[in-house]
């Protein structure tokens, strides 16, 4: 029996970082779907625009207007079949009528779109990953675990971006449960090495402040290679580089100063040209078990991203570069820039647009790198599994455990081959 949208409710809630929008879609059969889109720590210039309240309340970050917009647009969805995701998303895009969703807000549109998708899955009696990917969806996304944060090496020591973020991939685990054990052992060993080297006194001064299960080390070190040295030692002392690799999000655009065409204070003090950055990445991949780097250069540098991709031979991921936007991905494919796209549905504004971009990636040999850092931790692993992405970041561990139990022996573990750059060329 067809299930039609009966009501849409929206309100402002407190998210994981800041105020967030909550949208609940209910169907006439009683199925519901919920979403809580949030903004990111660093935002690409080409992301769809969120609507914030402005003013003094909550530092201007309130989303009461977005909630009102969601209920307004939600009335246009009442009576539509909840399974008609593309039709609903196209209507939302048309109602907004702007290229970057600035009229009603990308948070408004994506809140509705994600909630509709979740309600559609519940109405069909399917887990979200099967609703997205079909009954043959079986490739478990390998989890990525946060380990350590760095920051800007520049007076007056501006570290507001908390980037790069260094993480690990237990690609040799074979299962999510085993990956958890490997990550825990490595993190414990890394903690021991950090405290042995920099001392508890430094820790108490908050130079090694714990944040999001990571050490924030910018004030304790002179070069990010110190981080990579300790991470590699911790990997070698536990499960070895045959089983664990390093992933990191450079977010290099936050260090790029266009007026001098230099990257300032990234990895160490001083300025770096694009050629110096490319050479730096090439050497890092030779020296450390790095499998994947995100946003190694700023988001306008297609040629530079192509150079890094070719020189390193590993997975190069576009987040700010692509913003989950199929038109940006097309530019990347044409230029040979990067070979993987971060999937953040909130960046583009609707489920349909995000899935179209992901499928275009796969059709052209690019990986997809789902990340739930924008308020969708509870569902991002479903999209990762449904899209056979093979990897996931910022996810709900309980969902991952449920997937493993549901799939049993049918589960596919992608392994290290997922991250080889030559797989994608």
pLDDT in tens, 337-357: 999 999 999 999 999 999 999
Which pLDDT score, from 0 to 100, does residue 425 have? 36
Residue 267, strand partner residues = none
Which pLDDT score, from 0 to 100, does residue 198 have? Answer: 84
CA distance linking residue 117 with residue 246, whole number of Å: 33
Task: Dig out the tokens for 222 from the structure.
Answer: 């002179």
Residue whose C-alpha is closest to residue 41's, from 65, 7, 16: 16
Q: What is the pTM of this model?
A: 0.93
pLDDT for the residue 211? 44
Share of the chain above pLDDT 70, in %: 92
- Considering the chain, what is the average pLDDT of its residues? 91
pLDDT computed for residue 214 by the predictor: 65
pLDDT of residue 253: 93
Alpha carbons 334 and 357: distance in angstroms, whole number: 15
Q: What pLDDT, on the 0 to 100 scale, is given for residue 161?
A: 62
pLDDT at position 423 is 38
CA dihedral 256, 266, 209, 179 (to 10 degrees): 100
User: Does pLDDT of 206 surpass 70?
Assistant: no
Dihedral of the alpha carbons of 188, 177, 241, 296, in degrees to the nearest 10? -90
Whether omega for the bond prior to residue 164 falls within 30 degrees of 0, making it cis, is yes
**Which tens digit of pLDDT belongs to each residue from 133-153?**
998 999 999 999 999 888 888
Confidence band for 158, pLDDT divided at 50, 70 and 90: low
Q: In this predicted structure, what is the pLDDT of residue 34?
A: 97
The residues with which 371 forms a beta bridge, in sequence order, are 393
Read off the pLDDT of residues 10-66 as tens digits, 9 standing for 90 and up.
999 987 777 899 999 999 999 999 999 987 655 678 899 999 999 999 999 999 999
- Planar angle of CA 345, 346, 352, nearest 5 degrees: 40
- The domain made up of 5-125 has a fold known as Enolase-like; domain 1 (3.30.390)
Identify the pLDDT of residue 420.
Answer: 74
Closest C-alpha to 386, from 372, 368, 374, 373:
368
pLDDT score at 203 = 47
Spatial contact of 190 and 167, defined as CB atoms under 8 Å apart: no
CATH class of 142-424: alpha beta
pLDDT at position 46: 87
The domain spans of the chain are 5-125, 142-424
**Is residue 66 a contact partner of residue 51, using CB atoms and an 8 Å limit?**
yes
- Whether pLDDT at 220 is above 90: no
Question: pLDDT for 276-312, tens place per residue?
Answer: 999 999 999 999 999 999 999 999 999 999 999 999 9
Residue pLDDT, tens place only, 362-414: 999 999 999 998 778 889 999 999 999 999 999 999 999 999 999 999 999 99
Mean pLDDT over 310-337 rounds to 97
At residue 225's C-alpha, the angle toward residues 219 and 228, to 5°, is 100
Enter the tokens of residue 396: 């709900």
pLDDT for the residue numbered 155:
58
């Amino acid at each position: 029996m067809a299930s039609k949208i009966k009501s849409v409710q929206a309100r402002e809630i407190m998210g994981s970082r800041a105020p967030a929008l909550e949208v609940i879609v209910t169907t006439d059969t009683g199925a519901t779907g919920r979403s809580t889109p949030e903004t990111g720590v660093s935002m690409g210039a080409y992301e769809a625009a969120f609507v914030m309240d402005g003013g003094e309340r909550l530092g201007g970050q309130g989303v009461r207007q977005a909630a009102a917009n969601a209920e307004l647009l939600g009335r246009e969805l009442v009576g539509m079949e909840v399974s008609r995701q593309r039709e609903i998303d196209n209507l939302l895009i048309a109602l907004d009528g702007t290229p970057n969703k600035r009229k009603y807000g990308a948070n408004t549109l994506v809140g509705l779109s994600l909630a509709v998708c979740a309600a559609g899955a519940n109405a069909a009696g399917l887990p979200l990953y099967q609703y997205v990917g079909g009954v043959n969806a079986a490739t478990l996304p390998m989890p990525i675990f946060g380990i350590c944060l760095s920051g800007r090496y520049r007076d007056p020591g501006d570290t507001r971006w908390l980037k790069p973020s260094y993480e690990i991939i237990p690609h040799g685990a074979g299962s999510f449960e085993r990956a958890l054990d490997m990550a825990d052992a490595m993190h414990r060993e890394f903690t021991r090495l950090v405290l042995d080297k920099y001392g508890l006194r430094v820790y108490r001064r908050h130079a090694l402040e714990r944040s999001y299960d990571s050490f924030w080390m910018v004030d304790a070190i002179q070069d990010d290679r110190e981080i990579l040295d300790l991470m590699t030692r911790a990997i070698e002392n536990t499960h070895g580089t045959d089983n664990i690799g390093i992933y990191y999000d450079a977010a290099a655009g936050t260090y790029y100063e266009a007026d001098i065409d230099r990257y300032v204070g990234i990895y160490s003090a001083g300025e770096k040209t694009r050629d110096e950055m490319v050479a730096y990445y090439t050497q890092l991949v030779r020296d450390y078990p790095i499998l994947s780097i995100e946003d190694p250069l700023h988001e306008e540098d297609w040629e530079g991203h192509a150079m890094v991709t070719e020189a390193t031979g590993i997975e190069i991921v576009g987040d700010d570069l692509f913003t989950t936007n199929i038109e940006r991905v097309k530019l990347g494919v044409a230029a040979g820039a990067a070979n993987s796209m971060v999937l953040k549905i909130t960046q583009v504004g609707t489920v349909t647009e995000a899935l179209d971009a992901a499928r275009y990636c796969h059709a052209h040999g690019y990986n997809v790198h789902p990340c739930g850092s924008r308020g969708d931790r509870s569902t991002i692993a479903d999209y990762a599994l449904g899209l056979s992405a093979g990897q996931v970041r910022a996810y709900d561990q309980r969902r991952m455990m449920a997937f493993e139990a549901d799939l049993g022996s049918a589960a596919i573990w992608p392994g290290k081959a997922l991250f080889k750059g030559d797989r994608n060329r």
